[in-house]
Structure 1
Amino acid sequence: MTAPVLCAVAHAGGLAHGPWPMATAVLLAALLHAGRGRRGWPAAVAFGAAGALLLALGLSMVPGYGRLPWGIVSINVGKAIGGLAAAAMLPSAWHWNRRCTAIAALCLIAVPALGWAIGYLQWAPAALPALASFAVANAFGTVAEEWFFRRWVQDPLQRFGAVAAVAGTAVLFGLAHAAMGPVFMLLATLAGSAYAAVYRASGGSVWAAVALHLALNVTRVALFGG
């Protein structure tokens, strides 16, 4: 019942209005419960529908949800609620190893360096208070994105092999950021391949992918501003 409880808090704080947020939150909780840890087509349909609903929340397609201003950015309340609900209903343990460290180091160096080398990113270090507020706000969106792309995209693609799962997830992650322009989409695809690789190297720890995703976003803002 994580989603309805969080939605009620959002309503109380003026960050959700009308019937759609609570109706969506209740439906998401029901679908996650129906699809979690079960087999058969009813569970598969419920799980798929939960993923579609989580995607709709992430894309701000559910009316009634607002945004919470937070420092230099704002928090997408609907996306945050969806991500936290998924994390609560589909828990993942923390695992990290040397392979994860190697992948993370390569990602944290190569992706910003490429963006800077091609002139897409400009050196503009962020102030510490702004960086801290960004890290807190971005954590909510990162959890939502990683739970969706690992549980609903990468895990199902594993049946086609590890390479297909990592590559397919990376391409879809890049396409999800197409609105930011072709260069950002390319960088997102490269970053997405690292997130997917860390997820696999860690033995399926979504939190490992969250950690790398958040670290890269914070690194970008720390070195190149918003």
Structure 2
Amino acid sequence: MKFDIITLSWICFFAGSLLVCFKNTLRAGWAVLLTAYALAFAGKEITFTGLGWLLLTAGTLLLAVRQHGWKQFALHGAFFVLSVLLFLHRLPGFNNLLVFDKVHFTPDAAPFTMYLNLDKPFNGFILFTCFGSVWYSHRPNAITLLKAIALPLIAIAAICLGTALLLHFVNWDPRLPANAWLWMLNNLLLVAVCEEAFFRGYLQGILGKQIFKGKSPYIPLFITALLFGLAHTTGGPALMLLAFIAGCGYGWAYNKGGMLASILTHFFFNVLHFFLFTYPMLAARH
């Protein structure tokens, strides 16, 4: 691996991504993340425009938690829109690092492209900063956490991967791809953490409890799972259906074991898919 300012920025970025997820290391995490973004700016991975979008996103949420009534509603709405744009990489100013360029993990697999993103994960960092104290308060013991992960994971693995096999979306194909460590690091810290903070922690947990206060917790769970499915439109109807089912499982894990349970359920499911089945999916047949 070539060691340069970009490599150093990503070492700091991964370290900060982990530290910011825990209450006792939140400040240290932000110190490391700010260093990472400074190095990324020096390496031209992010511009002043990109930094401006991140500051606007952070400011919107920080203001939202301090307001009430229509102002809070409007600010949460603005944060939601900015978050979606960051998730979809629609905001300018980011030159995310390409690490897998149309790679075929198996001959029958669709090409896989992966970037190390500076835009999308920021959403998770600011959410942990604002709501981490709420999420940290739910700390199940080891047995409860294991059950909260195992039961949803078994269910969605059986349903999603079984359905994917029946739809000829994937094949059984166990293997150990090259650079799997980089995929795992990215998938845990920049995908699972970020997506669970937004969908389960923020939409299902924070907003869901406010909007559907006193009603069944399954209402925000299913609505959030539906939004999670819609977020996977680029994969077509099959992927949207599978993402919805998986989202239900992640929401179940969140309700039973909190943020850590949903993150690990999400990550372990992705690991099963990556190592044991066609990844990301079978190539389209013409």
Give the match's secondary structure for 1:30: helix
Q: Residue in 1 aligned with 2:227?
A: 172
Of 135, 138, 142, the residue aligned with 2:184 is 135
Q: How far apart, CA to CA, are the structure 2 residues paired with 1:63 and 1:166?
A: 32
1:14 matched to 2:74? no
Q: How far apart, CA to CA, are the structure 2 residues paired with 1:83 and 1:13?
A: 23
Q: Residue in 2 aligned with 1:124?
A: 173
- Unmatched tracts of structure 1, length 5 or more: none
Equivalent runs, 1:149-188 vs 2, <5 Å: 149-155=199-205, 156-158=207-209, 159=212, 160-188=215-243
Q: Is the 8 A contact 1:55 1:148 kept in 2?
A: no
- Residue type matched to 2:93 in 1? G
| 1:41 CA drift (Å) | 3.4
| 1:173 CA drift (Å) | 1.0
| 1:167 CA drift (Å) | 1.4
| 1:43 CA drift (Å) | 3.2
- Residue type matched to 2:164 in 1? G
Q: Residue in 2 aligned with 1:32?
A: 61
Q: How far apart, CA to CA, are the structure 2 residues paired with 1:165 and 1:138?
A: 25
| 1:129 CA drift (Å) | 4.4
Per the alignment, do residues 126 and 9 of structure 1 end up closer, same or farther by CA in structure 2, a change over 3 Å counting? farther
Per the alignment, do residues 37 and 105 of structure 1 end up closer, same or farther by CA in structure 2, a change over 3 Å counting? farther
Q: How far apart, CA to CA, are the structure 1 residues paired with 2:65 and 2:152?
A: 30
Q: Is the 8 A contact 2:51 2:93 kept in 1?
A: no
Q: Residue in 1 aligned with 2:195?
A: 145
Q: Residue in 1 aligned with 2:109?
A: none
| 1:25 CA drift (Å) | 1.5
Equivalent runs, 1:1-226 vs 2, <5 Å: 2=30, 5=34, 7-17=37-47, 19-36=48-65, 39-70=68-99, 73-91=114-132, 92-93=135-136, 95=140, 96=145, 98-127=147-176, 129-139=178-188, 140-155=190-205, 156-158=207-209, 159=212, 160-202=215-257, 205-224=258-277, 225-226=279-280
TM-score by length of 1: 0.86
Percent sequence identity over aligned pairs: 25
Q: Is the 8 A contact 1:69 1:75 kept in 2?
A: yes
Give the CA RMSD over aligned residues: 2.5
Give the match's secondary structure for 1:61: coil
Q: Deviations over 1:165-223 (max 9, x none)?
A: 12111111111112211111111110011011111122xx2232111111111111111
Instruction: Select the structure of larger CA radius of gyration.
Output: 2
| 1:134 CA drift (Å) | 1.0
Q: How far apart, CA to CA, are the structure 2 residues paired with 1:43 and 1:7?
A: 29
Q: Is the 8 A contact 2:172 2:276 kept in 1?
A: yes
Give the match's secondary structure for 1:69: strand
Could you list the runs of 4 or more consecutive aligned residues of structure 1 that deviate by over 6 angstroms after TM superposition?
A: none
